[in-house]
Amino acid sequence: MSLQVFINGRLVPKEQAVVSVFDHGLLYGDGVFEGMRSYSGRVFRLQAHLDRPWESARAIWLTIPMTQQEMAQAVYQTLQVNNISDGYIRLVVTRGAGTLGLDPNKCSNPQVIIIADHIELYPREFYEKGLRIVTASTIRNHPAALNPRIKSLNYLNNILAKIEGLQAGCVEALMLNHKGEVAECTGDNIFLVRRGELYTPPNDAGILEGVTRAAVIELAQEMNLTVHEVPLTRHDVYVADECFLTGTAAEVVPVVEVDGRTIGSGSPGPITQELQHRFQRLVRQRPDG
- At 191-213, the pLDDT tens digits run 999 999 999 999 999 999 999 99
Q: Residue 115's pLDDT is what?
A: 98
Q: Residue 285's pLDDT is what?
A: 78
CATH code matching the domain that covers 124-285, chosen among 3.20.10.10, 1.10.1060.10, 3.40.462.40, 3.30.1330.10 = 3.20.10.10
Question: 173-202 burial by CB neighbour count: b if 16+ within 10 A, else e?
Answer: bbbbbeeebbbbbbbbbbbbbbeeebbbbe
Residue type, 147: N
Q: Are strands 227-229 and 87-94 parallel, antiparallel or unpaired?
A: unpaired
Stretch(es) of the chain classified as CATH 3.20.10.10: 124-285
Instruction: For residues 167 and 42, give the distance between their C-alpha atoms in angstroms, rounded to a whole number.
Output: 37
Q: How many CB atoms lie within 10 A of CB 238?
A: 15
Q: Which of 106, 151, 162, 179 is catalytic?
A: 151
Stretch(es) of the chain classified as CATH 3.30.470.10: 4-117
Q: How many CB atoms lie within 10 A of CB 158?
A: 21
* Contact of 177 with 166, CB cutoff 8 Å: no
Q: Residue 120's pLDDT is what?
A: 81
Positions in the chain whose pLDDT score sits under 50: 287-289
Q: Residue 289's pLDDT is what?
A: 40
Active site residue 151: yes
- Using DSSP's 3-state secondary structure scheme, residue 46 falls into helix
Distance set, CA 175 to CA 147, 148, 223 (Å): 15, 12, 29
Q: Which fold has domain 4-117?
A: D-amino Acid Aminotransferase; Chain A, domain 1 (3.30.470)
Helices (DSSP H) in the chain: which residue ranges? 24-28, 46-59, 68-81, 124-129, 156-167, 211-222, 234-238, 270-285
